[in-house]
Amino acid sequence: MDRFFMSENSLKNTLYVTIFGTHTRAGKAFDITLIIAIICSLLVLVLDSIPSVSAQWSKELKFLEYTFTGLFTIEYILRLYCSPKPIAYAKSFYGIVDLLAILPTYLVLFFPSASFMGVIRAIRVMRIFRILKLVRYLQESNILLRSLLMAKRKIFIFFTSVAIMVTIFGSLIFVIEGPENGFTSIPISIYWAIVTITTVGYGDLAPQTGLGKAIASLTMLMGYSILAVPTGIFAAELHQEMQSHKVLVKCPNCSQNGHDSDAMYCKHCGSQLADPEKRVVPGEA
């Protein structure tokens, strides 16, 4: 690449590497500063929601909130400025998250009645994902995500089955228990079925009649058993994903693979393998 940028381009480039990159010293410092700022601004948000705290420290919290919003606004403008494709960035998932993280404060400033919108700022927490993704956990979360993606059809079938079961059990309990026991409508009864099948069990709605208790028992036992399905799917996919990384080490002599990550000699023909230290084995890096 051309190292001789014009002064403006050079500034843009330095900013880009610092803000979007992670491998330079400045980039790492920027990421760490940002993660601290995000967590602090979340703490301000949380403290502001506690009545006793917000009554006493109202001014200070407001000041801190405006400071953080100001900083994030500057960051957002800089990202737009130094990005080679500002519109693509603004439209991307993280571009929208970045905007939603600052917008509510301004809205509340101009329309005080929209104060409930302030909580949308909690979306700031999602910005942590970006930093996590960039830094060093990339590999591991890729394995997890790939396992989930591989299993996405199985998971879809699982959730459709849960939805169908929940509709049937919810309707059943609605007929059996009825409004006099709190099951006032089918949506409420489906909510009860979800609370029961996921084994949460708040207890705000519980069957009172004998038949209702029998149906509830069946719902619980089904919920308890089908918990095995997503776990089994994920465990099996993850295992396969981890296994398939084993296949990557090939013997230069007999060309067979399936060697362990610490193997130095081919288990099939006994000839020497590549140096384990220099192999790229995912999950070890």
H or E element that contains 3: none
H or E element that contains 89: helix 86-91
H or E element that contains 86: helix 86-91
Nearest CB to a second copy, comparing residues 17 and 194: 194
Residue 182 to residue 179: CA distance in whole angstroms: 5
| Residues within window 158-177 making contact with a second copy, judged by CB under 8 A | 158-160, 162-164, 167-168, 170-172, 174-175
* Total residues in contact with a second copy, by rule CB under 8 A: 114
DSSP, collapsed to helix, strand or coil, labels residue 207 as coil
- Indicate whether 150 belongs to the interface with a second copy (CB under 8 A): yes
Interface stretch with a second copy, choices 13-21, 65-73, 93-101, 274-282 (CB under 8 A): 274-282
Token pair 């228990």 is found at 177
| Residues within window 103-122 making contact with a second copy, judged by CB under 8 A | 116, 119, 122
Interface stretch with a second copy, choices 18-26, 45-53, 69-77, 92-100 (CB under 8 A): 45-53
DSSP assignment of 209-262? SHHHHHHHHHHHHHHHHHTHHHHHHHHHHHHHHHHHTGGG---TTT------TT
- Indicate whether 69 belongs to the interface with a second copy (CB under 8 A): no
Token pair 């967590």 is found at 39
- Indicate whether 33 belongs to the interface with a second copy (CB under 8 A): no
* Shortest Å distance, C-beta 149 to a second copy: 11
- Binding residue for a second copy, selected from 11, 92, 271, 274, defined by CB under 8 A: 271
- Indicate whether 129 belongs to the interface with a second copy (CB under 8 A): yes
- Indicate whether 35 belongs to the interface with a second copy (CB under 8 A): no
- Indicate whether 140 belongs to the interface with a second copy (CB under 8 A): yes
Nearest CB to a second copy, comparing residues 103 and 281: 281
- Indicate whether 181 belongs to the interface with a second copy (CB under 8 A): no
Residue 97 to residue 90: CA distance in whole angstroms: 9
* Shortest Å distance, C-beta 12 to a second copy: 31
Q: Is the dihedral of CA 26, 32, 37, 38 positive or negative?
A: positive
| Residues within window 186-215 making contact with a second copy, judged by CB under 8 A | 186-188, 190-191, 194-196, 198-204, 206, 210, 213-214
Residue 97 to residue 144: CA distance in whole angstroms: 23
- Indicate whether 252 belongs to the interface with a second copy (CB under 8 A): no
- Tell me the residue length of the chain: 285
Interface stretch with a second copy, choices 24-32, 57-65, 66-74, 243-251 (CB under 8 A): 243-251
- Indicate whether 180 belongs to the interface with a second copy (CB under 8 A): no
Residue 123 to residue 48: CA distance in whole angstroms: 16
Q: Which of 196, 254, 247, 184 minimizes the C-alpha distance to 224? A: 196
* Shortest Å distance, C-beta 194 to a second copy: 5
The answer to whether 45 and 121 are in contact (CB under 8 A) is yes
Interface stretch with a second copy, choices 55-63, 85-93, 104-112, 227-235 (CB under 8 A): 227-235
